[in-house]
Amino acid sequence: MDINSYEERSARKAREEKVKNFHVHIDQDDLAVGERYRQLENLDEPQPEPISSFSDDDVRKQMKKSSRNQAKVELKAAKKQQKYIDRQNRRTFRFIWWTSVAIIGAMIAVFVLVGVNDMLAVSRPADKKVSISIPENPTLHDVSTELKKKGVITEQSFFETYAKLTKNEEFSQGEYKINTNLDYEAIINYLALMTNRTDTINITIPEGLNVQETAALLVKKGVLSGEDRFLELCNSTYFDEDYKFLVHKNDNKRYYKLEGYLFPDTYVCYTNERPELTITRMLDNYENRITTSQYVEGYKKPVNIKKIAKKKKISMDKLLTIASVIQAEAASTEDMYNVSSVIYNRLSRGAQSDVYRLELDSTRYYPYRKKSKIPADERKSFKSSYNTYKKKGLPPGPICNPGMQAIMAALYPNDTSYLYFCHDKDGTPYYSDNFESHRYNLQLAGLL
Do 430 and 405 lie in one domain? The reply is yes
Among 171, 197, 223, identify where a domain stops.
197
- Quick one: pLDDT band at residue 19, thresholds 50, 70, 90? low
Do 286 and 341 lie in one domain? The reply is no
The Cα 344–Cα 338 span in angstroms is: 10
Q: Which amino acid is at 166?
A: T
Number of domains making up the chain: 3
pTM: 0.70
Identify the CA nearest to 281 among candidates 192, 198, 218: 218
Do 140 and 257 lie in one domain? The reply is no
Any idea what the CATH number is for the domain that residue 146 is in? 3.30.1490.480
Domain assignment present for residue 409? The answer is yes
Q: Could you tell me if residue 340 is left (phi over 0), alpha (psi between -120 and 50 degrees) or otherwise beta?
A: alpha
Give the pLDDT confidence of 237-291 residue by residue, as tens digits: 999 999 999 998 788 889 999 999 999 999 999 999 999 999 999 999 999 999 9
75's enclosing H/E stretch is: helix 56-119
What is the Rg, in whole angstroms, of the alpha carbon atoms belonging to the chain? 57
The Cα 64–Cα 52 span in angstroms is: 18
The Cα 345–Cα 315 span in angstroms is: 18
Angle at 171 (CA atoms; ends 166, 175), nearest 5 degrees: 135
Domain assignment present for residue 136? The answer is yes
Do 395 and 326 lie in one domain? The reply is yes
Do 325 and 260 lie in one domain? The reply is no
Distances (CA, A) of 88 to 5, 84, 95: 98, 6, 11
Domain assignment present for residue 309? The answer is no
Do 341 and 252 lie in one domain? The reply is no
Do 257 and 356 lie in one domain? The reply is no
Write the CB contacts of 295 (distance below 8 Å, at least 6 apart in sequence): 302, 303
Do 422 and 352 lie in one domain? The reply is yes
Do 192 and 206 lie in one domain? The reply is no
Give the pLDDT confidence of 210-234 residue by residue, as tens digits: 999 999 999 999 999 999 999 999 9
Whether the per-residue pLDDT at 329 is higher than 70: the answer is: yes
Domain assignment present for residue 105? The answer is yes
Do 189 and 232 lie in one domain? The reply is no
Among 149, 165, 197, identify where a domain stops.
197
- Residues in the chain, how many? 448
Give the pLDDT confidence of 353-380 residue by residue, as tens digits: 999 999 999 999 999 999 999 999 999 9
Do 436 and 336 lie in one domain? The reply is yes
Q: Are the C-beta atoms of residues 271 and 175 closer than 8 Å to each other?
A: yes
Give the pLDDT confidence of 376-430 residue by residue, as tens digits: 999 999 999 999 999 999 999 999 999 999 999 999 999 999 999 999 999 999 9
Whether the per-residue pLDDT at 350 is higher than 60: the answer is: yes
Q: What is the DSSP string of 15-55?
A: HHHHHHT------HHHHHHHHHHHHHHTTTSPPPPPP-SS-
Q: Which amino acid is at 272?
A: N
Q: What is the DSSP string of 184-251?
A: HHHHHHHHH-GGGBS-EEEEE--TT--HHHHHHHHHHTTS-S-SHHHHHHTTSSTTTTT-GGG--TTG
Domain assignment present for residue 182? The answer is yes
Any idea what the CATH number is for the domain that residue 225 is in? 3.30.1490
- Identify the domain containing residue 117 by its residue range: 88-197
145 compared with 100, residue with greater pLDDT:
145
Among 291, 309, 327, identify where a domain stops.
291
The Cα 266–Cα 268 span in angstroms is: 7
Domain assignment present for residue 9? The answer is no
Do 328 and 416 lie in one domain? The reply is yes
Identify the CA nearest to 397 among candidates 415, 384, 413, 408: 384
Count Cβ atoms below 10 Å from residue 314 Cβ, excluding itself: 14
Domain assignment present for residue 230? The answer is yes
Domain assignment present for residue 298? The answer is no
What is the three-class DSSP state of 281? helix
Count Cβ atoms below 10 Å from residue 388 Cβ, excluding itself: 23
